[in-house]
Structures are given as C-alpha cells and as structure tokens.
Amino acid sequence: MRSRRSFRHPVLLLILSLLASAGAALADTVMITGANSGIGLEFTRQYAAQGWTVIATHRRDQIPDTLKALADQYSNLRVERMDVTDQTQIEALADKLKGTPIDVLINNAGIATIGEFKGIGVDENQTLGTLNYDQFDLFIRTNVRGPIMISEAFLDHVKASKQKKIIAISSASGMVSAAPPRGGMYWYGMSKAALNKLMVTLSADVRAAGVIVAMFHPGAVRVEKFSELDWPGMEESPEAIGKMIKTISGLTLEDSGRFMQNDGKTQPW
C-alpha cells in the first residue's frame, strides 16, 4: 500500500505540473483601458469568460461596481487604476507590472463629449459658432496622448509576450478622406484622426520587433449611454465586441497599421 502511494505521488505531481504549465501557456494576457463601462467592460467580460488573464483598468478613486462584480466572478481578472491622462499613474502601473507579458494591449478609454450627452452628433461645445476651446486639450490628452503614452510605457510588456498586439479603439469620426455626413463634433473627430496617425507611426517603429498595431472603428455600438438610441446599423455590445475579439485573434504582422471595422474589413480614413 505504502509503496503504491509513493509510486503515485511523483506521477501525479508530474501530471499536475504538466497541466499547470499547459494552463499557464493558454492564459494569454490582455490589458484594457477604460474597462468599467461600455466597450471596455464588454471586452473585459468576454476575455475573462474565455479564460484570459485580464488586467482591467479604470480612472476612478474606488473600484467601479461593474468591475468589482466581474472580479468577484473571475479569479483571472485583476483591476488596476490608471487615468490615461496621468503620466505618473501610467508609469507607476507599467513599473508595477514589470516582467508581466501583455499579449494584447487595448487602448479603449476615450471621450466623445464632455458634459451631458444630448444625442449622437449633438454637442454645442463641438459646434461651429459655439466651439468650446477649453475642451480641446482634454480631448487630446485623453484620446491621443493617453494611447501613445500607454503604448510606449507598456511596449516592453507587449514585446515580451507571444501575441505582441497593440490595439486602439478609434472611430470613423476621424475619417478625413471623405466629407462627414454632417458637421460638428470637431474635437472628437480630430482626436481620432490624430490617434490613427500616431498608431500608424507606431506600427512602423515596432514592426521589426514583431509588434502588431491596429486601429478599429468598432461600429455604432449600443453601450449603456446609448441604451435609448436606435441608430440604423447599430450593433449590440456583445456582438460588436465579440467580432473585434475574433478579428484581433487573427491579426498578423501583415495587418499592422490597418484601420478596420470590427469584422476586420478595411475602414477608410
């Protein structure tokens, strides 16, 4: 009896350690900014459910309830604070995560309006005649400076990973190759155009290291703040984000620098 048990132990240990290393190998890591609501929250939910190691970041003083609920449900989800406009917080988190490979870095946090949301494309702060120049800098700091600062700060983490992907959630509002259907939304549109330019430049710089950079127009996605809207072609959040996750998983270096729709089709810009 005793000798059988002593035979079993090393075998069991070997099997367990093989299973553990296989599990570790399968659990790639994704980091998502602005993860507490909308598209970021849905990315967090779906990646966590798929067994990824998820680093969900937010800018609040306290852990938002949405992320707390998911963290209670998934042990593979960790929540970290990072305001994308705050260089000190960005560098502190990069330092804290030193040595942690990040397979997919999703620059999702962004603002489309500041203040009360009055409807798609309706914002007097971004309307000719009443342009609010005090808001200009915050759009740049959030939608443009944040993603490039984070991409630079976490580049070594991405390079150390297997998948090596940096994603930016941009918008067709940043398109300059065709006139927009209506005017307005000056700050939002220019910030997404600038974001695309930065990401294309980044893609050239990191290509030799095998890092893939891609920008998405996620589509018109029914997030919480758009729950009352019914826009032609609007997609439910789980559907649109599910498509982006699938597209991200298939990206290769050939795709680096592309601006695409959630299903991977090229988005003109």
Ligand X SMILES: NC(=O)c1ccc[n+]([C@@H]2O[C@H](COP(=O)([O-])OP(=O)(O)OC[C@H]3O[C@@H](n4cnc5c(N)ncnc54)[C@H](OP(=O)(O)O)[C@@H]3O)[C@@H](O)[C@H]2O)c1
> What is the distance of C-alpha 86 from the center of its chain?
17
Dmax (CA) of the chain = 88
Tokens for 77, please give them.
């989800």
Nearest approach, Cβ of residue 227 and ligand X (Å): 11
Choose between 37 and 50: whose C-beta lies nearer to ligand X. Answer: 37
Nearest approach, Cβ of residue 95 and ligand X (Å): 18
Choose between 8 and 96: whose C-beta lies nearer to ligand X. Answer: 96
> What is the distance of C-alpha 57 from the center of its chain?
10
Under the rule (CB under 6 A), what is the footprint of ligand X? 33-34, 36-40, 59-60, 83-85, 108-112, 142, 169, 171, 218, 220-221, 223-225
Return the SS3 of 104: strand
Nearest approach, Cβ of residue 253 and ligand X (Å): 24
The 10 Å Cβ neighbour count of residue 117 is: 13
CA–CA distance, 44 with 152 (Å, rounded to integer): 22
Nearest approach, Cβ of residue 234 and ligand X (Å): 8
Tokens for 6, please give them.
């002593």
Nearest approach, Cβ of residue 252 and ligand X (Å): 24
Choose between 185 and 251: whose C-beta lies nearer to ligand X. Answer: 185
Choose between 60 and 118: whose C-beta lies nearer to ligand X. Answer: 60
Choose between 108 and 247: whose C-beta lies nearer to ligand X. Answer: 108
Nearest approach, Cβ of residue 177 and ligand X (Å): 17
Q: Distances from the Cα of 134 to the Cαs of 22, 125, 128, 140, 212, in angstroms?
A: 52, 9, 14, 11, 35
* Cβ neighbours of residue 230 closer than 8 Å, sequence gap 6 or more: none
Spatial contact of 57 and 108, defined as CB atoms under 8 Å apart: no
Choose between 218 and 257: whose C-beta lies nearer to ligand X. Answer: 218
CA–CA distance, 43 with 245 (Å, rounded to integer): 8
Nearest approach, Cβ of residue 179 and ligand X (Å): 18
CA–CA distance, 151 with 10 (Å, rounded to integer): 44
235 bridge partner residues? 221
Amino acid at 181: P
Choose between 57 and 203: whose C-beta lies nearer to ligand X. Answer: 57
Q: Which residue is nearest to ligand X (CB)?
A: 38
Nearest approach, Cβ of residue 17 and ligand X (Å): 39
Q: Distances from the Cα of 157 to the Cαs of 31, 32, 243, in angstroms?
A: 10, 14, 25
Spatial contact of 121 and 184, defined as CB atoms under 8 Å apart: yes
Choose between 23 and 183: whose C-beta lies nearer to ligand X. Answer: 183
